[in-house]
Amino acid sequence: MPRSTTIAVTTAMLTGMVLSSAASALEVEHIETRYAAGQYHCELVAVLDAPAHAVEDVLRDYEHYPALDPRILQARVLARPAPGTVLLETHLRTCFGPFCRTVVRVETVREAQHALSAVTDPARSDVRFGETQTTLEPANAARTRITYRSSVTPGFWIPAVVGRRWMLRAMEQAALDVFRGVEARAKAPREIDK
């Protein structure tokens, strides 16, 4: 490859990396995934470049979850049995290396000010156990600190060694991608909805 072409390609790659990092100002303070006693756990603490009320609005706009991450194929509210309670069904595309499957999850989501907690119904889901908690804290008028904790026991077989690593990597990447999507929609919801 001629030197001028190499420089042009390198410049284009560096420009792309700078632009992609500028598009998302998500600041990760802590992220950890682990496997223990048959459960997969993910914890993320990050600061989003969007105000808390806008972040909360996006997180409660359940049926638009597929716009946050392409792995979310469908999300629909099945019922609202009580104020602040939502029965939510999601279809997620999960891949463990070359093996992919669609995972259905039905959860009872409880809404509180600056907080969401979800518990999976194993009888209606492809997981035996699932629990997620998300809390928001205004960092200032324009930024929000989120704390996200999720634990899941799949209801399907995952290969012991390699599969666990894939699952942990997938959980970490999904958490980062979803909250990058939340941040983007919360910063400019009207532009993104078009």
Assign 184 a pLDDT band (cuts: 50, 70, 90).
very high
What is this structure's pTM?
A: 0.82
Q: Which domains does the chain have, with CATH numbers?
A: 25-193 (3.30.530.20)
For residue range 18-65, list pLDDT tens digits in order. Answer: 333 345 689 999 999 999 998 999 999 999 999 999 999 999 999 999
Q: For residue range 69-128, what is the model confidence (pLDDT) as tens digits?
A: 999 999 999 999 999 999 999 999 987 767 788 999 999 999 999 999 999 999 999 999
Q: How far apart are the C-alpha atoms of 7 and 174, rounded to whole Å?
A: 34
- List, in sequence order, every beta strand (DSSP E) within the chain: 27-36, 39-48, 72-82, 85-96, 99-112, 115-120, 127-140, 143-154
Taking residue 105's Cβ as centre, other Cβ atoms within 10 Å add up to 22
